[in-house]
């Protein structure tokens, strides 16, 4: 969406509010179709998938470039700040961009970010000229430290990566949005259904990043299209200012006085 509802990432204007990951699709052709169906402008790509100079990696990279989208390399799989920094530096050379989705994983079962390593790496990368997109938790203190480290946006999770659970902690997500009204917030990880995306967009989040929810769907292309519609609907719903919930019913067609033309005696049974 454009015009009266602008969105920028590090000064770059964005029309689409759906970002798409590129891992685990059934085939490169389906990935390309899903990118088009999602109408997205940004896709995330793991350097580790492209490393090594393999022909498969070159073919994949060519396919992504042909879609015309912007590439956001990530540091997926990194367990330490040092490893993430080195991966980001290599990604800048390979993909010729200073944008980086920063991941520093601290726990194996949930793939929860190591927030200490994340802040350390973010500070070093921002000082080195990177535009950092940090994959983080919904913790307010961590968010503040990432912004202080030089990040201009935040990418909090809704639930563990690939879980499809949706919004594990709606209260924390609302609090994050309320505390940082001027900071672009992108929900990253854990969404499984279009309704989940609509819900976070109705909270006022700026965008959504998906991968597994689309790539592992029965029909990834149709699911990409469904999420694109849900993200737009959620954003429009937020901008339209939904009604305040009430405890009691309120008739949508209120009755004022008596029915027209009725006489009191004739209304009795």
Annotated binding site for 1-deoxy-D-xylulose 5-phosphate: 162, 189-190, 211-212
Contact in structure between 176 and 140 (CB atoms under 8 Å): yes
Measured CA to CA, the distance from residue 257 to residue 263 in angstroms comes to: 12
CA 16 to chain centre: 11
User: Which of the residues 101, 123, 131, 145 is marked catalytic?
Assistant: 101
- Burial class from Cβ neighbours inside 10 Å (0-12, 13-18, 19+) for residue 29 reads exposed
Residue 101 annotated as catalytic: yes
Contact in structure between 173 and 167 (CB atoms under 8 Å): yes
- Measured CA to CA in angstroms, residue 244 lies from 71, 205, 241, 248 at distances of 40, 19, 9, 12
Residues catalogued as catalytic: 101
């Amino acid at each position: 969406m454009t015009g009266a509802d602008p969105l920028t990432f590090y000064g770059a204007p964005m029309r689409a509010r759906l970002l798409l990951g590129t891992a685990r699709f059934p085939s490169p052709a389906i990935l390309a179709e899903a990118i088009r169906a999602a109408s997205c402008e940004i896709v995330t790509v793991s350097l580790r998938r492209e490393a090594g100079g393999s022909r498969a990696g070159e073919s994949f990279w060519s396919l992504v470039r042909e879609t015309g989208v912007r590439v956001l390399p990530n540091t997926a799989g990194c367990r330490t700040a040092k490893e993430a920094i080195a991966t980001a530096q290599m990604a800048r050379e390979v993909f010729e961009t200073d944008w980086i989705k920063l991941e520093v994983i601290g726990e194996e079962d949930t793939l929860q970010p190591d927030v200490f390593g994340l802040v350390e790496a973010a500070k070093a990368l921002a000082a080195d000229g990177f535009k950092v997109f940090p994959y983080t938790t919904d913790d307010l203190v961590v968010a503040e430290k990432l912004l202080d480290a030089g990040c201009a946006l935040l990418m909090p999770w809704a639930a563990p990566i690939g879980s499809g659970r949706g919004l594990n902690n709606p209260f924390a997500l609302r609090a994050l949005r309320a505390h940082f009204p001027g900071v672009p917030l992108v929900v990253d990880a854990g969404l499984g259904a279009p309704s989940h995306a609509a819900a976070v967009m109705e909270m006022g989040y700026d965008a959504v990043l998906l991968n597994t929810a689309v790539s592992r769907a029965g029909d990834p292309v149709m699911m990409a299209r469904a999420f694109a519609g849900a993200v737009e609907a959620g954003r429009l719903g937020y901008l339209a200012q939904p009604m305040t919930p009430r405890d009691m019913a309120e008739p949508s067609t209120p009755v004022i006085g008596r029915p027209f033309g009725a006489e009191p005696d004739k209304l009795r049974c």
